[in-house]
């Protein structure tokens, strides 16, 4: 089985490194082409990726063809490979905002396509990835894609109409968390901690709280209650967050992402 990548940028690079790290995908099954040659060379040296001379060469060689270019590049890339993308191939697309119907138009209804939405946490093996196969993809093909993306984190099967909400929850929310960590670390600096230490503490506390929530059977609010002693200091901070609209801000930010996604998708 040959896995061919067109576009070897941040996300494709993270997926390829994860596949390589997992040990489940042999080096000689991974090939790719990128517009500028530097990234291909790095991946060749790092994980043994086979460099290809063009997008067409990848499409021809691949059993599983991964489209890793930006969504706006697809109208330029797909016509150049469409005649090579036949129903015996599996197309995996990570492009944001492009529905399965877009690929049916480019390749025809009979070509199996799996729409995938990973996130950048794939770089550290902690992605949340949504997948949705089209009608031509078999369960075996869907499972193959799950296996690929389990090498960079967790995989969730969702219907296509939930991709916008998924993007807000799992994609854009990373930016919200970075903002939170920076704000918390900045408060630590104000209280006299060195910046590096404040950042390390804010990161570890955020990772720990997320892990505890994930691994516990208890509701997040039940866990919050356990941290807030009566008349203690934590409840003071929680009240300030509530007074300043923390929950509303997070919810409105997620909704803004979903709304913008709809605008970009031309809905
Ligand atoms: N980054 C994320 O957090 C994230 C999350 C979910 C989904 N995605 C999706 O992942 C895809 C890639 O995003 P990215 O962040 O990885 O972008 P990126 O780093 O810019 O990668 C895109 C790559 O495609 C290459 N490219 C452009 N046109 C090409 C062509 N005609 N033939 C071959 N290669 C070409 C670019 O080459 P150059 O080196 O010449 O620029 C670049 O390396 C997008 O569809 C995006 O929606 C990204």
Ligand 1 pocket mutation pick from 5, 6, 32, 34 by most atoms within 8 angstroms of CB: 34
In this structure, which residue's CA is closest to atom 32 in ligand 1? 35
Fill in the DSSP letter of residue 63.
S
| Ligand 1 center to 146 CA (angstroms) | 21
Q: What percent of the chain has pLDDT over 90?
A: 96
The total of other beta-carbon atoms located within 10 Å of residue 1's CB is 10
pLDDT score for 216 = 97
Write down the pLDDT at residue 267: 60
233 C-alpha to ligand 1 centroid (Å)? 46
Domains and CATH numbers, the chain: 3-158 (3.40.50.720), 166-264 (1.10.3730.10)
Instruction: Single out the residue of 67, 60, 68 nearest to residue 86, CA to CA.
Output: 60
pLDDT band at 262 (very low <50, low <70, confident <90, very high): confident
Q: Say yes or no to pLDDT of 92 above 80.
A: yes
pLDDT value of residue 28? 94
Q: What is the mean pLDDT of the chain?
A: 96
Token output for 240: 């300030």
Give the full edge-to-edge strand order of the sheet including 50-51: 50-51, 30-33, 3-6, 64-67, 90-93, 113-117, 127-133, 153-157
Structure-token match 């599983």, residue found: 64
Query: Ligand 1 pocket test: which of 4, 7, 132 has the largest number of ligand atoms within 8 Å of its C-beta?
Result: 7
Q: What percent of the chain has pLDDT over 70?
A: 100
- pLDDT tier at 121 (50, 70, 90 boundaries)? very high
pTM of this structure: 0.93
Residue 37 Cα, ligand 1 centroid: separation in angstroms? 14
Confidence band (pLDDT; 50, 70, 90) for 19?
very high
Among 9, 52, 57, 95, residue to substitute to test ligand 1 (most atoms within 8 Å of Cβ): 9
Distance 53 CA to ligand 1 centre (A): 17
What number is the average pLDDT over the span 205-210?
A: 98
Whether 32 and 12 have beta carbons less than 8 Å apart is answered as: yes
Strands 90-93 and 64-67: parallel
The two tokens of residue 136 are 């031509």
For residue range 145-190, what is the model confidence (pLDDT) as tens digits?
Answer: 999 999 999 999 999 999 999 999 999 999 999 999 999 999 999 9
Position in ligand 1 atom list of the atom nearest CA 12 = 16
250: CB partners within 8 A, 6+ apart = 176
49-84 tens-digit pLDDT? 999 999 999 999 999 999 999 999 999 999 999 999
Listed residue (94, 67, 54) closest to 3, CA to CA = 67
- Please state, in angstroms and rounded to a whole number, the distance separating the CA atoms of residues 75 and 82: 11
């Amino acid at each position: 089985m040959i896995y061919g990548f067109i576009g070897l940028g941040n996300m494709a690079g993270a997926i390829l490194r994860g596949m390589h790290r997992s040990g489940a995908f042999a080096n000689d099954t991974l090939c790719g082409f990128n517009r500028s040659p530097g990234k291909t060379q790095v991946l060749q040296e790092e994980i043994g990726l086979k460099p290809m001379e063009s997008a067409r060469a990848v499409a021809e060689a691949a059993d599983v063809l991964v489209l890793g270019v930006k969504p706006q590049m697809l109208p330029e890339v797909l016509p150049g490979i469409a005649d090579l993308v036949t129903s015996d191939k599996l197309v995996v697309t990570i492009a944001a905002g492009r529905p399965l119907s877009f690929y049916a138009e480019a390749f025809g209804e009979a070509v199996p396509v799996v729409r995938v939405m990973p996130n950048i946490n794939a770089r550290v093996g902690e992605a949340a990835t949504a997948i949705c196969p089209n009608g031509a993809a078999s369960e075996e093909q869907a499972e193959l894609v799950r296996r690929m993306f389990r090498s960079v984190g967790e995989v969730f099967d969702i219907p296509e109409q939930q991709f916008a909400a998924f993007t807000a929850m799992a994609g854009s929310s990373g930016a919200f968390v970075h903002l939170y960590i920076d704000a918390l670390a900045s408060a630590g600096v104000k209280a006299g901690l060195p910046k590096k230490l404040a950042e390390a503490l804010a990161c570890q506390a955020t990772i720990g709280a997320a892990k505890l929530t994930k691994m516990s059977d208890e509701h997040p609010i039940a866990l919050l209650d356990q941290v807030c002693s009566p008349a203690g200091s934590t409840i003071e901070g929680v009240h300030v967050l509530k007074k300043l609209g923390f929950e509303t801000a997070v919810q409105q930010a997620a909704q803004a992402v979903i709304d913008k996604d709809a605008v970009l998708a031309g809905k």
